[in-house]
Amino acid sequence: MNIELQEHIVRTWVIRLSGRLDAFSVGRLREQQESLLEAGGKRFLVDLRGLEFLDSAGLAALVSLLKRARQLGGDVVLVAPTHEEARRILTLTRFDQVFRQVENPESYLNSL
């Protein structure tokens, strides 16, 4: 799995994920999330367009980030995955209703 970070607006981070987010790779994401939260990040746009696979460990990491961000007065918004397998897991678990999702990240970021 690859992780690319970009701070767009002060305290708003774009996290682009690609490859697989599963029990074997989730540790790297959790470490990055923790670093960003400790540095004062509280708003996150998690871009899942490049994610090919997502399992329960990946979902747990996203929920953990959402919970922590909201405790700090922030939020987590997802860019909907384009790969059917990753999109399906969000739908089956109803996480597509827990997280706000956007199709166009640039429009969302410009609205902040």
Q: Each residue of 54-111: pLDDT tens digit?
A: 999 999 999 999 999 999 999 999 999 999 999 999 999 999 899 999 988 888 887 7
* Domain of residue 29, CATH code: 3.30.750.24
For 34, the domain range is 2-111
pLDDT digits (tens, 9 = 90+) for 8-44: 666 789 999 999 999 999 999 999 999 999 999 999 9
Rounded to the nearest angstrom, the gap between the alpha carbon of residue 100 and the centroid of all alpha carbons in its chain is 11
Confidence (pTM): 0.87
Long-range contacts of 20-24 (CB under 8 A, 24+ apart): 20/51, 20/52, 20/53, 20/54, 21/51, 21/53, 21/54, 21/55, 21/57, 21/58, 21/61, 22/53, 22/54, 22/55, 22/57, 22/58, 23/55, 23/57
pLDDT band at 4 (very low <50, low <70, confident <90, very high): confident
Count each helix (H run) and each strand (E run) in the chain, helices first. Answer: 5, 5
How many alpha carbons lie under 13 Å from residue 90 in its C-beta half-sphere? Answer: 25
Q: How many domains does the chain have?
A: 1
